[in-house]
Amino acid sequence: MESQRKAVSRPVIYLVILCLVLALTLVAVSRSPSEPEPGANLADVDLAGLTILHMGGGDLATQLVDRLEAAGGRVIRSPDIPDPADLSPDVVAVFGGEWFEERALDPDLYDFLSLASSRGASMVMAGGITSVFFEALDRAGVYIMAVDETTFEARNPGHNNPPVVGHRMIEVGGHTGPSLLFSSGSSPDVLAKSVVKWLHEWTDRSLQSTASTSASPMRYVCEYNYWPLLDSDPHGRLNITAAVHKLIDDGVPNYDWYFYRIEVRSVPGTVAYDSAWRTDHTWAHHQVHNAGTDRWMGNYGPGTSSGADTVHVFLTPSGGPTGSVWCDPLDWSYSIDGVAVFAQRDYAQDSASWLHHAGRSAPMARDTQVSMPGFVVRTRQGYPSLVDAWYQVQFARRPLWWSIQTTGPSPTLMLDSSAAGH
């Protein structure tokens, strides 16, 4: 009887051990790090040549500046507004949040903001009520916020007060416009990496206009960078970039057209935090604000697609209500290998949404997943384009079991562009 027990128990024990080894192997494989995001490691960044003007202290601003200094930046600390002699394109002014709030109505601060922008310096506010930063830029004439005609209120792009915001002027295709930073990182390290990426790297701006005739050129207007918009450790991050161009010299006296190129970049936990979480799907929704009388949603892309390797976005002012004009298209392509695209477009609601869903075995579920939809907003001549946007990402943990973590939805983002191009 004893020998029979041993004969039965040994195979069971071996089977249990084999299962444990297999499980541990799968966990190790699922947690193995993939290639990190470019520029994601501050230790690999050399900020030599960058001068950081740190004004007003502040806990978060100080932590941010310390990390920039450790990467090689030269720091000049000041308890108040410094001498503007050092302002240049190689300078970033970092304002402590509480200090900035106390001086939000100071004309001397407005003069500094205006001079810093005109000399090409970048500006960052860290901590505090960061929406105050854009109010001050508006009063200084640096960044003019679009106004909602129904309420006569300015639409502050930082209304949800992310921890870090920034403003810098950039030149694209001979046109100058603002690049705005909004960072909602979960740690000072993530925030510092976002600022460094914003200062030294940006998305491909060659996709400004493919217009080949002088009758329909595109003008760069502005760029919104939400790096990151959503950050959940260990699940992953969601980064959004929205670049806006305007059709000029279209020969039509009644309407203006604004072209939006949206980049949705999901960084799953397996990349961002060396965890087992992968991207299941991303969702992007865009709604024209107060549409139907002064502005309308026009053409959009891509359409619904499943089984393709790439999709093509082809934008012209046509589509939707009357008022179309001819121009060469703004177009681009992006990879969707293993990803199904569901386009949810409603002309009656003046909205455009996209769901990008990755299959369980799709390479893009494990790697950084990028989608780049786009759309056109038609406005009355001289009216701003006002767009409300929401984004969401869902992460899933595989392969031993299926566990869902939904990150989002994001707060409402105001992706506005004024008629003046600011």
| Residue 394: C-alpha distances to residues 5, 24, 278 (Å) | 49, 25, 9
| Cβ neighbours around 125 below 10 Å, total | 34
Q: Give the integer Cα–Cα distance in Å for 53 and 189.
A: 19
Q: Give the integer Cα–Cα distance in Å for 45 and 37.
A: 13
Tell which phi-psi region holds residue 3, choosing left (phi > 0), alpha (psi between -120 and 50) or beta: alpha
Would you state the pLDDT for residue 266? 96
Whole-number CA gyration radius for the chain = 24
pLDDT digits (tens, 9 = 90+) for 105-157: 999 999 999 999 999 999 999 999 999 999 999 999 999 999 998 889 999 99
- Which range among 180-189, 358-367, 399-408, 410-419 shows the weakest confidence by mean pLDDT? 399-408
Would you state the pLDDT for residue 361? 73
Give every CB contact of residue 187 below 8 A, 6+ residues apart in sequence: 233
Beta strands in 65-203 (DSSP E): 74-78, 91-96, 122-126, 147-148, 153-154, 164-172, 175-183
- Which range among 94-98, 161-165, 397-401 shows the weakest confidence by mean pLDDT? 397-401
Would you state the pLDDT for residue 43? 61
The count of C-alpha atoms lying within 13 angstroms of the C-alpha of 376, restricted to the half-sphere facing its C-beta, is 27
pLDDT digits (tens, 9 = 90+) for 53-74: 999 999 999 999 999 999 899 9
Q: How confident is the model at residue 175 (pLDDT cuts 50, 70, 90)?
A: confident
Peptide bond into 268 cis (omega under 30): no
Give every CB contact of residue 5 below 8 A, 6+ residues apart in sequence: none
Coil/strand/helix, residue 409: coil
Mean pLDDT for 196-205 is 70
The residues that bridge with 286 in the sheet, in sequence order, are: 352, 389
Would you state the pLDDT for residue 201? 64
Q: How confident is the model at residue 259 (pLDDT cuts 50, 70, 90)?
A: very high
Would you state the pLDDT for residue 327? 73
If you average pLDDT over every residue of the chain, what do you get? 84
Q: Does residue 2 carry a pLDDT above 60?
A: no
Mean pLDDT for 246-260 is 85
State percent of the chain over pLDDT 90: 61
Mean pLDDT for 21-36 is 32
Coil/strand/helix, residue 370: strand
Pick from 78-82, 95-99, 306-310 the range whose average pLDDT is largest.
Answer: 95-99
pLDDT digits (tens, 9 = 90+) for 229-243: 999 999 999 999 999
* Domains, in order of start, for the chain: 34-181+194-201 (3.40.1010), 215-422 (2.70.240.10)
Q: Does residue 176 carry a pLDDT above 60?
A: yes
Would you state the pLDDT for residue 323? 55
pLDDT digits (tens, 9 = 90+) for 326-351: 677 788 999 998 999 999 877 778 99
Pick from 103-117, 203-217, 288-302, 303-317 the range whose average pLDDT is largest.
Answer: 103-117
Query: pLDDT higher for 85 or 140?
Result: 140
Q: How confident is the model at residue 318 (pLDDT cuts 50, 70, 90)?
A: low
Beta strands in 233-317 (DSSP E): 236-247, 255-268, 277-288, 295-301, 310-315
Would you state the pLDDT for residue 324? 57
pLDDT digits (tens, 9 = 90+) for 346-398: 777 899 999 999 977 787 889 999 999 999 999 998 899 999 999 999 999 87
Q: Does residue 321 carry a pLDDT above 90?
A: no
Would you state the pLDDT for residue 132? 98
Would you state the pLDDT for residue 403? 82
Would you state the pLDDT for residue 85? 82
Q: Give the integer Cα–Cα distance in Å for 281 and 239.
A: 14
Would you state the pLDDT for residue 215? 44
